[in-house]
């Protein structure tokens, strides 16, 4: 039984809904329930937990009293998270600024991590925090489906190379943070900037083609990119991100330039699937390098797809989760 925050949230879709069918093929019957808003409805849902062998709470940090009822009703309780939920997103603040720290978030995370039977963390950074409070922690990366996913080779060359970014209203700050970098590169090597997001976006210093995000079309739009970009700030919040947009690019055989922050570094695999950069100068140089070299883009794109096929597909991650669930059921019945 998965308990998700909202059917509209990417984490609920990626780390719960997308895994239900692959889990079923592995003999694990799973259902997804969205956490209701009212107290009475939540308590009623928690009573339903008693009928399941395993309950997975996805990302949500409940109040102490609600978590108490959930814990009491669950035979085997799992906490799954893919963001630095114990910090605030204080983008632009100094690393030592107390604005990052939230006593209530930290207290809820500590309570949850200590009391559950196992914690599933989306990356190494998140794992290190969970291990402070629980010895039973496993890394479960976010996954991408590959069935019917188009790749760059499925489409003809663009008139100009397309540099693409995928995000949302809350992450738009990252693309704005490299506006001058993109403008400088475009002045030397012209390209088309495409932004896929739920919010209209315009960048004053260079032309920008905005495409409204659509679940059914996002994979096709990404496959039209020649290069993906994923800028991040090097801060406590961003380090918790699980490189999902890069995984989507890699699934489409699209190479990328990304900030060397958190899991971004891991999926570049020594700069064979894309470039992880530490400075503005590196970002410019690597972006220009890819713009100029179509053969390099193709090689990196193929390497990225191969890496996803090996480690990050919904089938691979579902197999890992299925094994964890089956072990949990066995240990819970013994």
pTM score:
0.94
Q: Looking at residues 15-20, what average pLDDT do you find?
A: 97
pLDDT in tens, 181-217: 999 999 999 999 999 999 888 787 888 899 999 999 9
Under CATH, domain 2-143+313-333 is a member of which superfamily? Glycogen Phosphorylase B; (3.40.50.2000)
Q: What is the pLDDT of residues 58-77, one digit of tens each?
A: 999 999 999 999 999 999 99
Structure tokens at 92: 């632009």
Cβ-in-10-Å burial (0-12, 13-18, 19+) of 2 comes to buried
Query: What band does 98 get if pLDDT is binned at 50, 70 and 90?
Result: confident
pLDDT tens track for 294-320:
999 999 999 999 999 999 999 999 999
| Other C-beta atoms lying within 10 Å of the C-beta of residue 56 | 27
pLDDT at 328: 77
Q: Which of 44-58, 246-260, 290-304, 319-333 is the least confident region?
A: 319-333
Helix, strand, coil content of the chain in percent (nearest 5) = 45, 15, 40
The alpha-carbon radius of gyration of the chain (Å, integer) is: 21
Q: What's the DSSP call for residue 45?
A: H
233 Cβ neighbours under 8 A, 6+ residues apart: 91, 92, 174, 177, 259, 261
Q: Which residues pair with 77 in a beta bridge?
A: 55
Report pLDDT for 14. Answer: 97
| Rounded average pLDDT over 141-146 | 96
Domain 152-311 has CATH 3.30.365.10: no
Spatial separation of the C-alpha atoms in residues 193 and 128, rounded to whole Å: 36
Domain ranges of the chain: 2-143+313-333, 152-311
Task: Answer for the pair 318, 2: CB distance below 8 angstroms, yes or no.
Answer: no
pLDDT score of 334 more than 60 = no
């Amino acid at each position: 039984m998965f308990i998700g925050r909202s059917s509209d949230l990417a984490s609920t879709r990626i780390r719960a809904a997308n895994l239900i069918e692959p889990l079923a093929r592995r003999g694990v019957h799973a259902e997804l329930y969205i956490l209701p808003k009212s107290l009475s409805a939540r308590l009623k849902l928690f009573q339903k937990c008693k009928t399941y062998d395993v309950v997975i709470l996805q990302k949500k940090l409940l109040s102490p009293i609600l978590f108490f009822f959930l814990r009491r009703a669950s035979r085997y309780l799992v906490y799954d998270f893919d963001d630095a939920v114990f910090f605030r997103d204080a983008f632009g603040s100094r690393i030592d600024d107390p604005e990052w720290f939230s006593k209530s978030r930290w207290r809820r995370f500590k309570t949850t991590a200590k009391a559950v039977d196992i914690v599933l963390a989306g990356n190494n950074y998140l794992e290190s925090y969970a291990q402070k409070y629980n010895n039973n922690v496993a890394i479960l990366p976010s996954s991408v489906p590959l069935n019917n996913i188009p790749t760059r080779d499925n489409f003809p060359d663009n008139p100009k190379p397309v540099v693409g970014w995928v995000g949302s209203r809350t992450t738009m700050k990252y693309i704005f943070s490299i506006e001058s970098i993109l403008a400088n590169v475009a002045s030397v090597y012209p390209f088309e900037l495409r932004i896929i997001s739920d919010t209209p976006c315009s960048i004053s210093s260079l032309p920008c083609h905005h495409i409204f995000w659509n679940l059914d079309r996002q994979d096709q739009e990404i496959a039209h990119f020649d290069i993906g970009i994923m800028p991040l700030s090097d801060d406590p919040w961003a380090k918790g991100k699980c490189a999902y947009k890069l995984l989507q690019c890699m699934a489409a055989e699209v190479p990328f330039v990304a900030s060397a922050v958190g899991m971004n570094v891991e999926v570049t695999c020594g700069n064979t699937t894309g470039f992880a950069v530490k400075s503005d100068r590196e970002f410019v140089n690597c972006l220009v390098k890819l713009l100029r070299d179509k053969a390099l883009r193709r090689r990196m794109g193929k390497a990225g797809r191969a890496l996803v096929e090996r480690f990050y597909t919904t089938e691979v991650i579902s197999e890992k989760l299925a094994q964890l669930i089956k072990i949990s059921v066995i240990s819970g019945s013994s």
